[in-house]
């Protein structure tokens, strides 16, 4: 019970972080969405064996976290939650691709290990940038920006509803888990047979709660359009933000900064 409630509050913290008052928070959401989308495309466009060239891209999310006064440990914990799934996806690469591509002293590294760590690094970078975008902007503002950038309104509305109804499901799940715990009289549970009834009741309660939410939205004049509490306009600051980060990210993509720094450093050694 406490773990479910804690998870809900922890996830809602992303929405609370979006109410900050830094220069990044005040930027129009479209500018942040465009730059983040460019960052994701450039990161995933690297070859599967590229690893060192990905490391300089960490500058983007770290700079946004620092400039937006976001808690770095909180974002890092969210990213770490994804790592087990990424490991499951790429853990068999070393068994399939055994061709030796790199030697580090006495150690021979196969292409499978390079692709595995490349997948892990790209996942950390892209997910980290997505969480940073949500913490700086908020999910409703992101959906509104996507609609303004050309996404069909029904699809954007569905994304927003999906995000909101996650909290509805988890809240109802927390209530059901609390009721189950109170009826177990201090034991671990009421047996495996109770799970079927619990899941069925959870589905019905969530469905009824969603209908009440929908009726409340209609009674308040919901017409399928976004209404944001913070109105922003696309101006000079947004243009500077897009152009500056785009040039920098394109430079990182087509110039191997890590190799360049390494060659300069090794060239200065006696």
Residue reference for tokens 């191997």 = 256
Dihedral sign computed on CA atoms, order 101, 102, 106, 107: negative
Q: Which residue has the higher pLDDT, 97 or 242?
A: 242
3-state secondary structure string across the chain? CHHHHHHHHHHHHHHHHCCCCCHHHHCCHHHHHHHHHHHHHHHHCCCCCCCHHHHHHHHHHHHHHHHCCCCHHHHHHHHHCCHHHHHHHHCCHHHHCCCEEEEECCEEEEHHHHHHHHHHHHHHHHHHHHHHHHHHHCHHHHHHHHHHCCCCHHHHHHHHHHHHHHHHHHHHHHHHHHHHHHHCCCCCCCCCHHHHHHHHHHHHHHHHHHHHHHHHHHHCCCCCCCCCCCCCCCCHHHHHHHHHHHHHHHHHHHCCHHHHHHHHHHHHCC
Q: Which residue has the higher pLDDT, 110 or 54?
A: 54
> Tokens representing 119?
């997948």
pLDDT > 70 in the chain, percent:
83
pLDDT attached to residue 43: 93
pLDDT attached to residue 265: 57
CB 161 within 8 A of CB 94: no
Phi, psi of 3 (to 5 degrees): -70, -40
Whether pLDDT at 269 is above 50: no
CA-closest candidate to residue 129, choices 58, 196, 23: 58
pLDDT attached to residue 187: 62
Q: What is the pTM of this model?
A: 0.79
The predicted-structure confidence for 134-192, as pLDDT tens digits, reads as follows: 899 888 888 888 888 888 888 888 888 888 777 777 777 777 777 777 776 656 555 56
The pLDDT mean for the chain works out to 80
Average pLDDT on 259-267 reads 63
Residue reference for tokens 């109770």 = 194
Q: What is the rounded CA–CA span in Å between residue 229 and residue 12?
A: 17
């Amino acid at each position: 019970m406490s773990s479910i409630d804690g998870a809900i509050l922890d996830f809602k913290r992303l929405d609370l972080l979006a109410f900050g008052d830094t220069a990044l928070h005040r930027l129009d959401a479209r500018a942040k969405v465009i730059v983040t989308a460019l960052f994701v495309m450039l990161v995933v466009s690297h070859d599967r064996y590229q690893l060192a060239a990905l490391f300089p891209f960490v500058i983007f999310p770290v700079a946004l976290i620092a400039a937006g006064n976001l808690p770095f440990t909180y974002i890092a914990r969210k990213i770490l939650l994804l790592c087990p799934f990424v490991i499951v996806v790429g853990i068999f690469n070393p068994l399939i691709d055994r061709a030796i591509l790199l030697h580090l002293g006495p150690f021979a590294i196969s292409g499978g290990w390079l692709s595995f760590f490349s997948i892990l690094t790209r996942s950390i970078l892209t997910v980290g940038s997505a969480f940073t975008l949500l913490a700086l902007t908020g999910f409703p503002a992101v959906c509104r920006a996507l609609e303004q950038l050309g996404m069909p309104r029904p699809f954007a509305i569905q994304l927003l509803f999906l995000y909101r109804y996650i909290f509805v499901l988890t809240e109802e799940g927390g209530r059901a888990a609390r009721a189950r715990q109170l009826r177990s009289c201090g034991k671990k549970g009421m047996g495996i047979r109770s799970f079927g009834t619990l899941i069925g009741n959870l589905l019905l309660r969530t469905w009824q709660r969603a209908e009440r939410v929908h009726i409340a939205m209609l009674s308040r004049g919901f017409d399928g359009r976004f209404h944001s509490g913070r109105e922003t306009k696309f101006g000079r600051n947004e243009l500077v933000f897009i152009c500056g980060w785009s040039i920098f990210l394109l430079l990182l993509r087509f110039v191997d900064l890590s190799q360049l720094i390494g060659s300069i450093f090794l060239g200065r050694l006696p």
